Structure 1
Amino acid sequence: MIRLVENKKLKGEIPGITSKSYAHRAIFCAGLAKGNSILEIDNLSKDIEASLNSMEALGVKLERDGNKFLISPPEEFNKRARIDVGESGTTLRFILPILGALGIEAEVIRRGSLVGRTNSVYFDLLPKHGVSIREDKEKIFISGKLKNYNFELPGNISSQFISGLMLASGGVGEVCEIKLTTERESKPYIDMTIEVMEKFGVKLEESNNAYSCSGSFIGQDYLVEKDWSNAIFFLASGVEVKGLDKDSIQGDREAIKYFNELGLENISNNSYKFIKKNESKVKIIIDAKNIPDTIPILSVLCGIYGNEIEVVNIERLKLKESDRIKSTVEMLERLGIRVSLKEESFSFNGIGEFNSCEIDSYNDHRIAMTAAIAAGFAKGPIKILDSECVEKSYKDFYKDLESLGGENHVL
């Protein structure tokens, strides 16, 4: 699907939407808990639907009333399951060790770009703990029961693998020890898992690059907090976003410090709305390690307001929904920015206004949303290829864009 987004400035205010990262974690905690839970989720993206559907495939009962989801775990989980995780990497990496913990024989189906994303950590680790796992094209087959919850694995992997093991232990009430042999990547996401698990009754302790988990999940009423990752797109356009937690541990909240370095200041007391008030720093260095999802939109924002920009620690961007190094650099160049790409970084200078152009999203929701926001800073409209991929994380993105003055339509 090709969408044309007009070069219109956005204005107004919008409420934040449910954090996809928090919602995933809450869904699995609730589905594996003793007792029922009620979750409040106002953004039913495709990824969140994948996690809900995976729990349903295990025998969990789901009832919806508006934004409230009643989650009722079964007395006994299904012995066999067929689970379609779509393109949700989080759902896949959480469900695999959970299936092992529950001893469920399952066929797990992946789709789109997720088929090519690595899961070698589990293929190396789980067989050492009694679980058989193999893959055939888009399918993963898993059977056996997880034994010995003392895990050792590198820390410089996706945090989703570490979180998955934590959730699996809480789901069956096993004492779990996870030792990381190298420095952690994406620590904020591990911290988020710990926060949600503790809300659902599991105790976690951290010491010397290791984690210990004990206890079982207990059903809760849980309001999922609002999402900083998706809010950053509209904040970059100058729109006011309400309902964000200023004390959130979401890693993408770190992006705000780069807004400040670009001379943008928050002018709202009770929410967030950024306007240009000061000069940008002469050189800004953006560390991508903890904020891979905001690198595309931060790069575009720097292209408007920045001087000399360098984005470092970019290696893991290759492992997202697209090769996000390639897709981000290509987008910047189509917008008119000259980019110097190195093995571990890329750099460019801001240009103040973008070209009217066509941008390939490579089916990456973050690229598509960034391109739509970039249109507001362009000389003319921007065409976005595979524009519908935003439904992965933000189903109503184009509707909300329209409500703020961002005219757009499918060609």
Structure 2
Amino acid sequence: MAYLELHDIKKSYYLGSEEFPVLKGLNLSFEQGEFVSILGESGGGKTTLMNIIGGLDSNYTGDVVLNGNSLRHDTNKQLDAYRRQTIGFIFQNFNLISHLTVLQNVMVSLEMTTLSRKQQEERAHQLLEQVGLKEHVKKFPNQLSGGQKQRVAIARALASDPEIIIADEPTGALDSQNTQEILELLDQIATDGKLVITVTHSQTVADFGTRIVRLTDGKISEDKKIKEPYKAGNENELTTHTLKFGATLKMALENMRYNLKRNILIIIGAAIGIFSVIVMLGLGNGVQGYINHEIYSQVNPNALQITKNVSSDNTDVNKSNMQTKDKNRLEKIKHVKNVQNGFYVQGGSQLRLGKQTAAISFMQTFNPTILKKSITRGDAPKGNEILLTKEIAAKLNKKHPYSLIGKKITFYQNTLNKQKRPVTLSKTLKVSG
């Protein structure tokens, strides 16, 4: 039985209801000590196959079998352990953490092993020496060349001593000299008995390994052995676990320290933004409060005046008035405390004081919608009393409008009698304010 087997692997992507097959029933087997190059043009399914082997993609049909055990039935937790312990990834764009040193980048993988801190540091130094970066352990990724970055990525991939190394275009961003050096490193890893799988479109890279698998349109068009695989090694995977909270916090603090100036500017900018929002909200609430105060100083927000909608040609008084049933309906509305009757007349009204007259646009009974504090002089009207507006008072006595308080004036109202004939009603009232 082979170390790693793929049985009838099929994978499709969907755009709406339209299916686009990528892998069309692949059957492959791999042994430890092999240096396999998966060769093909862009879009041929190489990266998709790599993701399936690496446990990054479980949405496929078929089966991946490792040492006789199917990965299809593994839980997410088991697949996490498979990716941490069995698989080592090497990416074309390196994926190094910029705010960590070369040594710390390798230590990230070792933080998830059961090794002590001292053992982790010793292994990290050993791996970096193995890839030729002994003198660069304190440098940051942006201080390294492309070839050196890829070496760090290889050291990191080897940290947990995985049995399978998957390299996605490991030399795609490198020159010919660095390409040769990286390929020699990968060959050395295969010599140690590990399974090395590279995904590439370069024939030069493919010819360096022990075997070439060529993919064309999602199918295997060639599976050629170049040379005998190396002797399989012993399975020495380190026991791993998820990254602990302390290590995660330490990495976050390292990131803050590395980008301290930028983070300070971000904090200041965020503080200014938050402060501005608070100021604008406070200003808006203040303006709204002022507007509400001005409105409520003129009207009583808890009192509503409701009139019956009557057509202009309706002369039936009974139909113009609110009925008892209307009042009862209003009293039953939730939160209504009481309902008071009132009268409202629009048009046809006039006031007379001596020889002075003033036409008024409307006349109504005094009610809680009129605030007593809006009465600048005098008092609220009682029986047979009237409250005038300043404009009406000025029409009756332009020089001394306030002198009208306490005096009697005549109120006239034009209307129709029962015979629908025009009549004028009049009543003498005392000015209360």
Q: TM-score, normalised to structure 1's length? A: 0.26
Q: Which has the higher contact order (CA 8 A, sep 6+)?
A: 1
Point out the structure with max Rg over C-alpha: 2
